[in-house]
Amino acid sequence: MLLTAGSGLAQTEYEYIDISNPFLRKIPLAVPWFKMTSGHAAEHEYARKAAGLISETLEFTGYFKILDQGAFLTDPLNPAIISANINFRNWTGIGAELLITGGILVKDDIVEMELRLFDTFKESLLVGKRYKGWVKDERQMIRRFCSEVIFHLTGSKGIFDSKIAFISTGTGHKEIYICEFDGYRPVQFTDNKNINLFPAWSSDTQWLAYTSYVKGKPDLYIKSLEEKRGATLDKKGLQITPAWVPGKFELAATLSFSGDQEIYLLTGTGKITKRLTYSRGIDVAPTWSPDGKRMAFVSKRSGSPQIYIKDIASGRVERLTFEGRYNTEPSWSPIGDKIAYSGMTAGEINIYVIDAEGGDPTQLTQNQGSNESPSWSPDGSLIVFSSTRQGLSRIYVMTAYGTDQRRLLALPGEQSNPAWSASAVNN
Amino acid sequence: MHKKLWVILALVVIVPSLLFTVACAKKTVKSEPEMTQTTEDQSAMEAQAARDKAAAEEAARQAELDRQRQMEEQELQRQMMAARNMFMNENIYFDFDSSVLLPAAQEVLKSKAAWMQANPDASVIIEGHCDERGTPAYNLALGDRRAESAKAFMVDLGIDATRLATISYGEERPVDKGSDEEAWAKNRRDEFVIE
């Protein structure tokens, strides 16, 4: 029985989401209120809240069109949640192709949930999960189920346990903050009342490297997120734009102790092990291919800032961008095939995506202020960036195809330089 | 006047022959040295006054000299401060996306090098800055190059490299927060800070 279901799932995996452009047609999804078990007042509140949270979390991916509760043909307070009881025509009738049902039991501080994803046309169960935990961990349970849903539909783990580091000036200084993937719960990470820039996550999400002027000049700091340890690189000149090598305790960064801005390879403890660029003039802003074999970076070697790719083993360097005279801030997709960057034309900066093997770039933003600093979600489906489209610089998210552009979070001051982490390893 | 003449005549000619009329003569004689003394006192006083005046004049001259010297010193001080302030306040400016030293910038750097030669104890931090256009990382690198360009030029003019430090602020510290060419032109600069 399980095996049959398993092979069935494998065949249908990408039937729902067209991976060539998954955002072209959004899948209509219905999430009715959860079915209460005890019927207590507290449970009533959670029954609504949980359904809302599932809708928001899945809508964030850009894959779904969440159907309006007001259109539902079922009794909102007494939803059918298992196949045997569901009249699927109630759902296909309003255009829902997917249905998520939930049952909830809240007792003291403990919450139990059973969650199911159905294909309404095939009238079949796609994912079924049961969770039990502290009431305060409800959000994590919901996210875990959403990860299962996304994994079933796309074959990739999703983004729901990833985080975003960024710069905010809310205190009057450029400090680093960290929030969850959807902008939830921003927490101030640095507090040195100085200029802090270029946060960069290690691929195990345990370390953050960044530049800080805390000692009066741009030095590099490498900090453990969990423990009070780390390293500093404070040589003469610049130490900026760190980029961790995927899967390693190593990072590239731009240093200028020689009087020339070159990219070097460092250990996670801040020791220089290798020089990676050899061109008089600016070399800056490295980003790694997911296999760590190639590095894209910005160089002025041809006279204007352009993006180049260096093959580490052969040492060969090739120019990637040819359109425009100011292409910077490359960010290599964790999926590996694409590089996002920002390009300036006529004084306006926009986000572009280009195939890592070259070709014509695709412009993702236009006529909406300056759009800078793209960074990919861990599954390569979304891009976070900063934009001045509403005046002050704020952080926005869009799909990898440029659709569904929306603001990530509301905070005082200006926000910039977002960096999306990988998915957490221990989750 | 006639009376005075007669008195003088009496003194010179008649007085010796009229020794018996001492009282009179005495009176006259007596009155005469008194007059003489008065004259002597007067001239002494006059001499003293002249000396005093000379001394006062000398003192005034000295005071004036001192004042002048002080003023000159103050002026010198002022000029030194002005030179120092000029050194601190006179930025050099760059074209967009360039760290090439323009002719005007080179002239400013020559006077800065002269100042550093005249003030051998001074050490200087050269700050490289950019306008808001472009992106933060590239601009930090560009600011670094702008500071390094000025440093290299001054080292070529004979300033010891150890007296010149550089720091880039990229686009982080504009002097003019405007978003037009006038503001951008002011922001594409090197600043010079005496340590």
Listed residue (A164, A214, A269, A247) closest to A425, CA to CA = A247
pLDDT of residue B44: 81
Q: What is the ipTM of this complex?
A: 0.91
Burial label, A360 (beta-carbon count in 10 A; 0-12, 13-18, 19+): exposed
pLDDT of residue B63: 86
pLDDT of residue B5: 53
In angstroms, the separation between the Cα of residue B118 and the nearest Cα of chain A is: 27
Tens-digit pLDDT profile for residues A29-59: 999 999 998 878 888 888 899 999 999 999 9
Reported as a pLDDT band with limits 50, 70 and 90, residue B62 is confident
Pick the residue of A215, A240, A306, A385 with the most B CBs within 10 A to test the interface with B by mutation: A240
Instruction: Inform me whether the pLDDT recorded for A5 exceeds 50.
Output: no
pLDDT, chain B, mean: 84
Region A169-196 average pLDDT: 97
Pick the residue of B140, B145, B173 with the most A CBs within 10 A to test the interface with A by mutation: B140
Q: Spell out the alpha helix ranges (H) of A22-94.
A: 41-59, 88-92
First to last CA, chain B: 85
DSSP state for residue A302 in the 8-state scheme: T
Place of tokens 């345990």: A206
Interchain contact, B168 vs A349, CB within 8 Å: no
In angstroms, the separation between the Cα of residue B162 and the nearest Cα of chain A is: 12
Q: Which of the residue ranges A172-176, B38-42, B97-101 would you say has the lowest mean pLDDT?
A: B38-42
Tens-digit pLDDT profile for residues A65-124: 999 999 999 888 889 999 999 999 999 999 999 999 999 999 889 999 999 999 999 999
Measured distance CA(B190)–CA(B168) in Å, rounded: 9
Place of tokens 């960096």: A419
**Chain A residues touching B137 at Cβ < 8 A:** 197-198, 240-241, 254, 284-285, 298, 328-329
* A254 to chain B: closest CA residue: B141
Burial label, A406 (beta-carbon count in 10 A; 0-12, 13-18, 19+): exposed
Tell me the residue length of chain B: 195
Region A157-164 average pLDDT: 92
Structure tokens at A65: 């069109």
In angstroms, the separation between the Cα of residue A327 and the nearest Cα of chain B is: 9
Reported as a pLDDT band with limits 50, 70 and 90, residue B8 is low
Report pTM: 0.86
CA distances (Å), origin A139, targets A121, A145, A183, B28 = 29, 10, 14, 134
Measured distance CA(A243)–CA(A283) in Å, rounded: 14
Strand-pairing partners, residue A128, are A116
Instruction: Inform me whether the pLDDT recorded for A273 exceeds 50.
Output: yes
Measured distance CA(A191)–CA(A208) in Å, rounded: 15
Please tell me if residue B167 touches chain A, with a CB cutoff of 8 Å: yes
Reported as a pLDDT band with limits 50, 70 and 90, residue B38 is low
Tens-digit pLDDT profile for residues B21-36: 444 444 444 555 555 5
pLDDT, chain A, mean: 92
**Chain B residues touching A197 at Cβ < 8 A:** 136-137, 140
Chain A with chain B: Cβ pairs closer than 8 A? 71
Please tell me if residue B97 touches chain A, with a CB cutoff of 8 Å: yes
Pick the residue of B138, B151, B164, B195 with the most A CBs within 10 A to test the interface with A by mutation: B138
In angstroms, the separation between the Cα of residue B71 and the nearest Cα of chain A is: 40
* B143 to chain A: closest CA residue: A238
In angstroms, the separation between the Cα of residue B111 and the nearest Cα of chain A is: 24
Backbone angles phi, psi at A307, to 5 degrees: -95, 135
Reported as a pLDDT band with limits 50, 70 and 90, residue B37 is low
Burial label, A403 (beta-carbon count in 10 A; 0-12, 13-18, 19+): middle
Interchain contact, A298 vs B138, CB within 8 Å: yes
Instruction: Inform me whether the pLDDT recorded for B107 exceeds 90.
Output: yes
Please tell me if residue B137 touches chain A, with a CB cutoff of 8 Å: yes
Measured distance CA(B126)–CA(B165) in Å, rounded: 6
Interchain contact, A195 vs B172, CB within 8 Å: yes
In angstroms, the separation between the Cα of residue B90 and the nearest Cα of chain A is: 22
Tens-digit pLDDT profile for residues B128-165: 999 999 999 999 999 999 999 999 999 999 999 999 99
**Chain A residues touching B138 at Cβ < 8 A:** 282, 284-285, 298, 305, 328-329
DSSP state for residue A194 in the 8-state scheme: S
* A167 to chain B: closest CA residue: B136
Of A285, A326, A349, the CB nearest to B137: A285
Chain A residues contacting B via beta carbons under 8 Å: 174, 195, 197-198, 216-218, 236-238, 240-241, 254, 256, 259, 261, 281-282, 284-285, 298, 304-305, 326, 328-329, 342, 344, 347, 349, 372-373, 416-417
pLDDT of residue A2: 29
Higher pLDDT, A215 or A11: A215
Higher pLDDT, A288 or A24: A288
Please tell me if residue B187 touches chain A, with a CB cutoff of 8 Å: no
Instruction: Inform me whether the pLDDT recorded for B179 exceeds 60.
Output: yes
